[in-house]
Amino acid sequence: MLQYSIRLLKIAEEDFTEIINYLSGVSPKAANEIADKIESNLSLLSANPFMGRIPKDEDIKNLNYRYIVVDNYIIFYTVEGKTVYIHRIFHGARDYKSLL
């Protein structure tokens, strides 16, 4: 089966680092668990890039975003050719529309 490559945009890498750093201050165990969950979901995208949902919001949908939910976090991505571009990783409580 063809595997897609996964590319985190710089801002998505920063999102991920921020999340892990924040959680590490609260609970290192929780930080490790969410890091593992996010990384395993990104691996799943490599084999199943269209598994994510299409946003209901028309503005976000028109940007060709898809998203997956991992615990309290939402990962927004696009598929271009054989590459999955991870654009942002947000906590679900954030106003992500204004940040995309």
Domains and CATH numbers, the chain: 5-99 (3.30.2310.20)
Distances in Å between the Cα of 54 and the Cα atoms of 10, 13, 44 are 23, 22, 17
Q: How do residues 48-99 score in pLDDT, each as one tens digit?
A: 999 999 999 998 889 999 999 999 999 999 999 999 999 999 988 777 777 6
Distance CA 65, CA 82 (A): 15
Give the pLDDT confidence of 4-29 residue by residue, as tens digits: 999 999 999 999 999 999 999 999 99
pTM of structure: 0.91
